[in-house]
Amino acid sequence: MAELEAGTTTGARRPRPLSPHLQIYRPMLTMVMSIVHRITGAGLYFGTALLAWWLLAVASGPNAYANFEWFAGSIVGQLILFGFTWALLHHALGGIRHLIWDLIYGFEPAEREMLTVATLVGSIALTIVVWIVGYLAMGGPR
Amino acid sequence: MIGQRPNEMRTAARRVRGLGSARSGTRHFWHQRVTAAAGVPLTIAFIVIVVALTGRSHAAVVQILGSPLVAVLMLLFIVNTLYHMWIGMQEIVLDYVHDDKLKILALLGNTCFVFAVGFASAFAVLKLSFGV
């Protein structure tokens, strides 16, 4: 330690160089989508509590199921389920994108941008399709 | 170096403290990718099942969820997803939680949450399936 401090006149230690962190970089699409992948993963993690509630409610009987259906049908419930659907599809498509990259494909600048945009557009489109089909199914036989 | 094993890069002190390679560093990395790949068809199956059950009566939902094919798909989806998210949350905790006590608590909490959700979901599906 003495040798390190000998070089400075005051004896105070010079600040060591730090590696640049996220906020240094201009946000790029691939980077933002990587962050979103982690956020959707964490969201889905806690969302599985709803899956457990749904399954337990079905197994518990008509009254418990009616409670769940009331929540799922409420505005808050619908918003959460819509968000859950998008997060699930986004994380699934993002996962496929990462698997493609794991196999060392799609690393050219245009390719990785295309894959990233496809994840975003695909997840939104598929979410809307799933909900339209869901609403059509609601009109079907009970 | 005294006490050094042949072909061992670590010092004796390093070995006693239990630091360094445990030869299992890539296990979670690999399992995360295997469960990710398996998760693609299982997630599609899960979404199809949920959409198909939307708006149906309780009796119909009980019957469909309890049918063997649907129940097996649900169980596979549950086990695969929960293992995947257990590894994922552990990774997030290890990345962001640096305080030792908090880190241990968060890792324990992760395991408890995954087991609670997993057992509740799997038990419910099995109960429907066996029709008890």
The structure tokens 């959707």 sit at A40
For the entire predicted model, the pTM comes to 0.84
Q: Do B39 and A92 touch (CB under 8 A)?
A: yes
Q: Work out the number of other CB atoms within 10 angstroms of the CB of residue A61.
A: 11
In a domain, B34, yes or no: yes
Which A residues in the span 58-97 are in contact with B, Cβ-Cβ below 8 Å?
58-59, 61-62, 65-66, 85, 88, 92, 95-96
Residue entry with tokens 């994922």: B88
pLDDT tens by residue, A40-94: 999 999 999 999 999 999 999 999 999 999 999 999 999 999 999 999 999 999 9
Domain regions of chain A by residue span? 74-135
DSSP string across B96-122: H--SHHHHHHHHHHHHHHHHHHHHHHH
Q: Which of B85, B117, B115 is nearest to A50 (CA)?
A: B117
Q: Tell whether B2 is covered by a domain.
A: no
Cβ-defined contact of A142 to B57 (cutoff 8 Å): yes
DSSP state of B3: T
Do residues B51 and A134 make contact, with C-beta atoms less than 8 angstroms apart? yes
Under an 8 A CB cutoff, do A58 and B62 touch? Answer: yes
Indicate the number of domains in chain B.
1
CATH number of the domain to which B114 belongs = 1.20.1300.10
Chain B contact for A142 (CB, 8 A cutoff): yes
Q: B88 and A96: CB-CB below 8 Å?
A: no
Hey, are the CB atoms on B124 and A88 less than 8 Å from each other? no
| Nearest-neighbour CA in chain A from B7: distance (Å) | 32
Domain that residue B74 falls in: 27-130
Question: What does the mean pLDDT of chain A come to?
Answer: 88
Q: How far lies A88's CA from each of A51, B20, B70, in Å? A: 13, 36, 20
B127 pLDDT more than 60? yes
Q: Could you give phi then psi for residue B52, rounded to 5 degrees?
A: -65, -25
Spatial separation of the C-alpha atoms in residues A50 and A69, rounded to whole Å: 12
Residue in A65, A99, A137 closest to B54 by CB: A137
**B36, A58: Cβ pair inside 8 Å?**
no
Residue A93: closest CA among A32, A30, A37: A37
Q: Give the pLDDT confidence of B63-110 residue by residue, as tens digits.
A: 999 999 999 999 999 999 999 999 999 999 999 999 999 999 999 999
